[in-house]
Amino acid sequence: MIRALLAALAVAAAVLVLAAPAGAARECNGFQVCVPVAGPWVLSTSRAETQYQLACPKRFVVGGLDAELTNPAIDLVFRATLGSPVNPGISTSTTAVFLARLTAGHDPKATFKPFIGCVPSSGSGSRVPTSVQIFQPGSPTVRRVTEIPARAGGTSRVVSTCRTGERLVASSHAVGFYTALPPGLALAGAVHVQSATAHGHVTLVVRAGSAVRGVRAVVQLDLVCAGGR
């Protein structure tokens, strides 16, 4: 009876191993309680830096990160906060900003897919300045993120600005595709974005071709704002 049970367990384990995808993300490794969040395939086709933000559900902070790349020349890191120890809630917050750039070659469909593992925020560390004259690194800026859907054959115009009392420091945008597989050349080149900044306002004009039909494509606009509370 015991031998039969062990044999059944071995077969079940083998089935689970075979069913797991070879490139399964590891953003929740090492955590007993973890909510995985997957982003889209984000274009990163040039030496210019591409930024993309993923957010955890309420009352969760980023505990783990991972990504998949379609080109090994993509240099991918994330923005962290200084502090000790390096821990969720100290080094990370409720969101994670991925920073990517293509470091070699020419690849118009180079993409990365970001993942975050979100853990409960209770018990996370916090930072308290120890001097009134010497300041520790903090958070002098805040990111204001807007997501614009890209619809086949359509044009969208979005104007975004920082909140009252804040000032615009920088802005960026990224194109992403929520598809099971990385986008091909036609899909990767189907979304066109024009950006203009004037008097603290950022205007994006998003145009999408027919290749986007049936695909959830988005343009994420990130504003870096300072002076807020």
Last residue of a domain, one of 92, 125, 158: 125
What is the widest separation between alpha-carbon atoms in the chain?
77
Co-location of 120 and 40 in the same domain:
yes
Instruction: Please state the rounded mean pLDDT for residues 37-62.
Output: 97
Provide the pLDDT for residue 84: 83
Pull the structure tokens for residue 182. 């990385």
97 in any annotated domain: yes
196 in any annotated domain: yes
Say if CB 150 and CB 175 are below 8 A apart. Answer: yes
Whether the predicted pLDDT of 22 surpasses 80 = no
Say if CB 158 and CB 204 are below 8 A apart. Answer: yes
Span of 18-32, 75-89, 109-123, 208-222 with lowest mean pLDDT: 18-32
Tell the residue number behind the tokens 């049936």, with chain if given: 214
Span of 66-70, 87-91, 108-112, 155-159 with lowest mean pLDDT: 87-91
Co-location of 187 and 158 in the same domain:
yes
Instruction: Report d(CA 97, CA 115) in Å as an integer.
Output: 11
Q: Please report which helix (H) or strand (E) contains residue 13, including its range.
A: helix 2-19
Q: Which of the four pLDDT bands, split at 50, 70 and 90, describes residue 86?
A: confident
Whether the predicted pLDDT of 10 surpasses 60 = no
Last residue of a domain, one of 125, 153, 179: 125
Co-location of 109 and 194 in the same domain:
no
Say if CB 105 and CB 121 are below 8 A apart. Answer: no
CATH assignment at residue 100: 2.60.120
Provide the pLDDT for residue 16: 31
Instruction: Report d(CA 118, CA 98) in Å as an integer.
Output: 15
Q: Each residue of 108-134: pLDDT tens digit?
A: 999 999 999 999 997 544 443 333 445
Last residue of a domain, one of 125, 148, 163: 125
Print the domain residue range for 213: 139-229
Instruction: Report d(CA 79, CA 130) in Å as an integer.
Output: 24
Instruction: Please state the rounded mean pLDDT for residues 178-185.
Output: 98
Co-location of 154 and 120 in the same domain:
no
C-alpha distances in angstroms, 94 versus 51, 118, 137? 16, 8, 18
Co-location of 46 and 119 in the same domain:
yes
Co-location of 180 and 149 in the same domain:
yes
Instruction: Please state the rounded mean pLDDT for residues 69-90.
Output: 92
Span of 43-52, 117-126, 178-187 with lowest mean pLDDT: 117-126
Pull the structure tokens for residue 152. 């086949």
User: Who wins on pLDDT, 70 or 13?
Assistant: 70
C-alpha distances in angstroms, 161 versus 49, 91, 136, 145? 21, 27, 28, 10
Number of domains the chain is built from: 2
Co-location of 50 and 120 in the same domain:
yes
Q: Which of the four pLDDT bands, split at 50, 70 and 90, describes residue 24?
A: low
